């Protein structure tokens, strides 16, 4: 059971260490080419959510994040027989707290993973966003899979 919280802590640690390196080693706007035309590290700050929406609305982000953390902990506790589902929720937990720490400390989020998919420059994101997105996608797949099996064992 606690391994899901330890996983979330591990994700938070990786997220915060990578952000610390970006903040201390790179100027804002500085870019490191990792894979030409595909993957760069670009030091960026975002005071909003995905795509910079709701810029500066910190109280909204605090409230939503606290609600997300509460709901995720509840689901981790009530789905003990669904380890994959708990895994998805621990990814969301780690990601949400990772960005929450930035918002509390700096009122903005440190982003650095800059991906160009074909010629579309995807918004610059970070490890916390990746964990959140992986967690969301995993849970969606599990829910679809459960529904197709018709059992609907997910408790809520």
Ligand X SMILES: CCC[C@@H]1OC(=O)[C@@H](C)C[C@H](C)CCCCC(=O)CCC[C@@H](CC)/C=C/C=C(\COC)CC[C@@H](O)[C@@H](O)C[C@H](O)CNC1=O
Give the residue numbers marked as catalytic: 111, 129
Per-residue buried b or exposed e for 37-71, using 16+ beta carbons within 10 Å of the residue's own CB:
eeebbbbbbbbbbeeeeeeeeeeebeeebeebbee
Q: How far is the CB of 112 from ligand X (least distance, A)?
A: 10
Tokens 């902990």 locate to 73
Q: What angle do CA 66, 142, 73 make, to 5 degrees?
A: 25
Joined together, the tokens standing for residue 26 give 């790179």
Residue 18 in contact with ligand X, rule: CB under 6 A:
no
Nearer to ligand X, 64 or 143 (CB): 64
Residue 65 in contact with ligand X, rule: CB under 6 A:
yes
By CB under 6 A, name the one of 12, 96, 127, 139 that touches ligand X.
96
> What residues line the site for ligand X (CB under 6 A)?
46, 49-51, 61, 64-65, 68, 96, 99, 109, 111, 123-126, 129-130, 132-133, 136
């Amino acid at each position: 059971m606690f391994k899901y919280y330890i996983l979330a802590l591990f994700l938070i640690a990786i997220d915060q260490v990578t952000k610390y390196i970006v903040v201390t080693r790179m100027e804002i706007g500085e870019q490191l080419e990792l894979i030409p035309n595909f993957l760069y590290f670009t030091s960026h700050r975002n005071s909003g959510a995905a795509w910079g929406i709701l810029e500066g609305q910190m109280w909204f982000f605090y409230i939503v994040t606290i609600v997300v953390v509460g709901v995720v902990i509840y689901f981790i506790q009530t789905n003990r027989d669904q380890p994959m589902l708990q895994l998805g929720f621990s990814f969301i937990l780690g990601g949400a707290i990772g960005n929450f720490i930035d918002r509390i400390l700096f009122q903005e989020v440190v982003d650095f993973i800059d991906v160009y998919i074909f010629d579309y420059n995807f918004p610059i994101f970070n490890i916390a966003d990746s964990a959140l997105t992986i967690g969301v996608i995993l849970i969606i797949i599990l829910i679809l899979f459960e529904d197709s099996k018709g059992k609907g064992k997910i408790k809520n």
